[in-house]
Amino acid sequence: MAWTKKILRVNLTDGTCTPEPLNMEWAKEYLGQRGLATRYLVEEIDPTCDALGPDNKLIMATGPLTGTMVSTGGRYSVITKSPLTGCVACSNSGGFLGNEMKNAGWDMIIFEGKSPEPVYLYLENDKAELKSAADIWGQSVWAADEALHQAHQDPQLRIAAVGRSAEAGCLFSAVVNDLHRAAGRSGVGTVMASKNLKAVAIRGTLGVGNIKDPAGFMSAVSAGKKVLAENPVTGQGLPTYGTQVLMNVINEVGALPTRNMREVQFEGAHNVSGEAMHEPRKSDGKPNLTTNAGCFGCTIACGRISSMDKGHFSVENKPQYWGNSGGLEYEAAWALGPDTGVDDLDALTYVNFLCNEDGMDPISFGSTVAAAMELFEQGAITTEHTGGVELKFGSAEALCWAAEVTAKGEGFGIDLGLGSKRLCEKYGRPELSMTVKGQEFPAYDPRGIQGMGLTYATSNRGACHLRSYTVASEILGIPEKTDPLATEGKAGLVKAFQDATAAFDSAGICVFTSFAWSLEDVAPQLDTACEGDWSVDKLAEVGERIWNMERAFNIAAGITGEQDTLPDRLRKDAAQTGPAAGRVSDLDKMLPEYYQLRGWSADGVPTAETSSRLNLPA
Amino acid sequence: MQKSLHIDPGKCTGCLQCEMACSYEHEGLFNPSKSRIRVFTFHEEGRFVPYTCTQCDEAWCMQACPVDAITVNAATGAKEVNADTCVGCKVCTIACPFGTVNYSQSTGKVVKCDLCGGDPKCAEACPTEAITYIDADATGIDRMRAWAAKTDNAASA
C-alpha cells in the first residue's frame, strides 16, 4: 500500500478541515504526488480560472514512497495553477515536511477557497485546525517559523510558510519549508498567500507502514542505496560539491548563460563555483561551506550548509545572517551570479539567504534582476526608477539591494516581483525577457546544450531544467553520452526523460537519484511497497500519461503550441565563445519530431488516439 | 568481543535513515518519533548530532528501576527493558543523565536502545559511517590513527 489513503480537504472560505478517502482508482493510474495531485486539480478547477482568485486550489502532496526508508523518500510537491505562467505548476521540495505529513497520516492536503483573515493550518496527526496568523502575517518565513515553534512549544514541528514577498504579490514566490528548502518555482507561494494562508505546521507521530512486501522492500531499498553510494555523481560529486559541481563544468562546455543570456561563458565562474565554496576566505580563513546535509531519508546529501564572511558589506551590521543556513545550489548560484555578472560569493550567499528568508525563487529572481540590469544598461530603466541605485551588470551592491526590496515588496522591488516577462513588457522591451511561457530560464544555455532548448520549449511549467534533464546525457554521459551540439535523437531523448521524471516525481523521491537510478531501480522499490503491479513499462506509461494530462490542462488554459518556443536571442544570436561558438538553438529541427513522437498534432495537441490510449481525463 | 555503537557527528548529514531503521526494527513502522536514536540539528552552527544510549556499565536506569525490569544482555552488553516487567513508573527516565530512556504513551512502558540484539539497524542504515558498531575496547582507534598521521617523523630522524 504505502499510501495512507487519506486526504485532508481544507476549505479556507468556510474554515473547515474534512478528511476524505484517496481515490485509489486514480492512484493506480497516476501513482502519487505530482501525477495524482494534478489529476485532482484537473478534476476540480477550471483551467481558465484566475490563479490568484479563490477558484484556484493549492495541493500539497506526498508520493507513496514519501516517509519510507527509500533513499530521498521525503519529497512533497505543491500543485496549483501558476500566476507566473498560467500553466499547471508543480514545485517539488525536500527537507522534512513531506515525511511529517505522511507520518501524520495524510497523502495530500487540498486547500480551496480563500480565508477571510490570515490563517495557518496546524496539523497534529488526526487533529487539523485553522488558527489565526494575525501575529505572523507580515513576517518573514524565518520569523514565522520561530514564532510557530514557540507558540506550540514543540521543537519537532515541521513548518512550511510564505514570506513577505508572497504577501506583496511577487509572482515568483516560493513555499519554504524547514527554513531553507523550497517548493520554489512558478509562484506557488504567491497562490498560497493569495488564499491568506501563511503557513502549514505539522507534527506526525503515527508512522508510515502498509508496506506490501516488507522483506522484499527492505532488500530493494538496500540495493538502491548501494547503487547511489557506488555511483561517482551521487556517491562523490554531489556530496562533496553539491549541484555546484556543475559551475565550472557548464562554463567549460560553453553553456553557462551570462549577463541575461547574452553570452555563454562567465569569466568569474570559478569564484562562485562549488570548488570556491571549499576554499578558505582571506578575511577569516573559513570556507563558505560548513558541511553537506541530507533531506529526509537522503543518502546522497547534496545540500549545502554555509556561512558568510561577517565583514562582508551586505551583513556587516546584521548578526542575524552570521550563522549557518542553506547555501548555494547550482541553479541559484548561476541566476544570482553569472546571469547578473556578479562573481562575489558572499553576495550570492547573502541573496540566497534572503530568498529563503522571504520565500523567493532564486532562479526567477536572479534572471529578473539580469533583465533589469540590461534594461538599465539600455536606458529603459534609470536611477529615477531605482531611487538612485546603479543597477549595473556585475554590481554586487545592486544585486543585494534588489533582493532586499523584492523580499519585502518595497519600491522598485514591486516591479522586480513581476518577473522578467512582465518587467520587460512594462519597460517596453519584451524581447529582453529570457523566459518561456513567462517563466525564467535555469542555468543551461540551449545554444551549447541543444536538448535543453527542446526541454525548455516544451516544459509544462515554462522554462525549467527539472522536467527533462538532458544535461545528464549530453554533458555527463548518463545513461549514455550524446553530443550536446547535435539535434538528432534529442526529441526522443527529451520525451524519455520527461516521462521518466514524471514517474520519479510522482513516487515521492528526488529526481537527483536519476543520475544513478533508472526506472529499473525505482520499479522494485515501488512494487514491493505498493499494491498493484509497478513494472518499468507501467511507470513509463504513467509518466507519459501525466505529461499529456499536464499538457491538456495548459491547452485548456489557453496556452498552445505557439508558445513552445524560445526567445529570439537564443534562436538567432549565435554563441560567441567556447565549443558552441557560432551556434544558435536549433529548436525548429527538433520540435516537429517531438510532436510526432508524442502522438500530438502538428500544432502540439494530443490526438484523440493518444488521449484514448492513455485514458486521459475527459 | 563486545561491540559498541560509535558516533562521529562530523560525518552526519541529518538524513534520519537511522531513525527510520530503528523505528522499523522495533515498531514495524517508519516513524522517527518512535526512534530510540535521535539526530539533533544545530542549524546556526551547521551541525548534526546523532544521540542514543551509550550502555553505561553502572547504568543509572538499571540501578533506579524498582522492579528490575532493566537487565544486562550478557552477549551484547546492552541494558534491555523487559516490557512484561516494566510498570511504566518512569523513574529510569529521571535517573538517566543523558535522557536516552523514554516513556511511550502508546504502550505505557519505557523504551531504550537495545543494540538490536547485536545487529544495530541504525549503523547498518547510516550512509556515511557516522554511526558504526565496533570493538568496544577500541572506539578511539580511528581518532588515534588520524592524530598519528599528523606526527612529523622527520623531526626525530
Which residue in chain A is spatially nearest to B14 when comparing CA positions? Answer: A294
**Chain center to CA of A91:** 5
Q: How far apart are the first and last CA of chain A?
A: 28
* Rounded CA separation A347/A312 (Å): 8
User: With an 8 Å Cβ cutoff, is B13 touching chain A?
Assistant: yes
Q: Given a cut of 90, is residue A618 above it in pLDDT?
A: no
Partners of residue B17 in chain A, C-beta under 8 Å: 69, 71, 297, 299
Partners of residue B30 in chain A, C-beta under 8 Å: 67-69, 207-209
Which range, of A233-237, A294-298, A496-500, B140-144, averages the lowest pLDDT? B140-144
* Rounded CA separation A110/A194 (Å): 15
User: With an 8 Å Cβ cutoff, is A295 touching chain B?
Assistant: yes
- The answer to whether residues A186 and A462 touch, using CB atoms and an 8 Å cutoff, is yes
Partners of residue B13 in chain A, C-beta under 8 Å: 239, 291-294, 298, 301, 303
Chain A closest-CA separation from residue B8 CA (Å): 14
pLDDT at B1: 83
**Confidence label for A1 from pLDDT (cuts 50, 70 and 90):** low
- In the sheet that A325-326 helps form, which strands lie side by side, from edge to edge? A289-293, A303-306, A325-326
At A44-84, the pLDDT tens digits run: 999 999 999 999 999 999 999 999 999 999 999 999 999 99
Which residue in chain A is spatially nearest to B45 when comparing CA positions? Answer: A324
The answer for A 522-581 residues in CB contact with B (under 8 A) is none
**What's the grid cell of residue A429?**
522591451
CA angle A78, A79, A80 (to 5 degrees): 125
**Chain center to CA of A131:** 28
Answer whether A324 sits within 8 Å of B46, measured CB to CB.
yes
**What's the grid cell of residue A525?**
522499490
Helices A536-556 and A490-507 sit at what angle, rounded to 10 degrees?
Answer: 100
Chain B closest-CA separation from residue A475 CA (Å): 28
> If you ran DSSP here, which 8-state letter would residue A281 be given?
P
Using a pLDDT cut of 90, give the percent of chain A over it.
99
Residue A385 host element (H or E):
helix A383-386
Mean pLDDT on A523-552: 97
**Which residues of chain B are under the pLDDT cut of 50?**
none
At A501-522, the pLDDT tens digits run: 999 999 999 999 999 999 999 9
CA neighbours within 13 Å on the CB side: how many for A39?
A: 25
> What are the beta bridge partners of residue A20?
A7
Partners of residue A293 in chain B, C-beta under 8 Å: 13-14, 46, 48
> Which one, of A454, A469, A430, lies nearest residue A569 by Cα?
A430
pLDDT at B156: 57
Answer whether A299 sits within 8 Å of B15, measured CB to CB.
yes
pLDDT at B157: 52
* Rounded CA separation A603/A561 (Å): 6
pLDDT at B154: 66
pLDDT at B153: 73
pLDDT at A169: 98
Residue A568 host element (H or E):
helix A568-572
The answer for A 42-71 residues in CB contact with B (under 8 A) is 67-69, 71
- The type of residue at A565 is T
User: With an 8 Å Cβ cutoff, is B130 touching chain A?
Assistant: no
> If you ran DSSP here, which 8-state letter would residue A253 be given?
T
* Rounded CA separation A419/A367 (Å): 8
Mean pLDDT on A236-263: 97
Q: Which residue has 490510449 as its cell numbers?
A: A613
Answer whether A208 sits within 8 Å of B33, measured CB to CB.
no
At A556-607, the pLDDT tens digits run: 999 999 999 999 999 999 999 999 999 999 999 999 999 999 999 999 999 9
Which residue in chain B is spatially nearest to A239 when comparing CA positions? Answer: B13
Q: Rounded to 5 degrees, what are φ and ψ at A263? A: -120, 170
- Is the peptide bond between A280 and the residue preceding it cis, with omega within 30 degrees of 0? no
Mean pLDDT on A386-412: 98
**Chain center to CA of A292:** 20
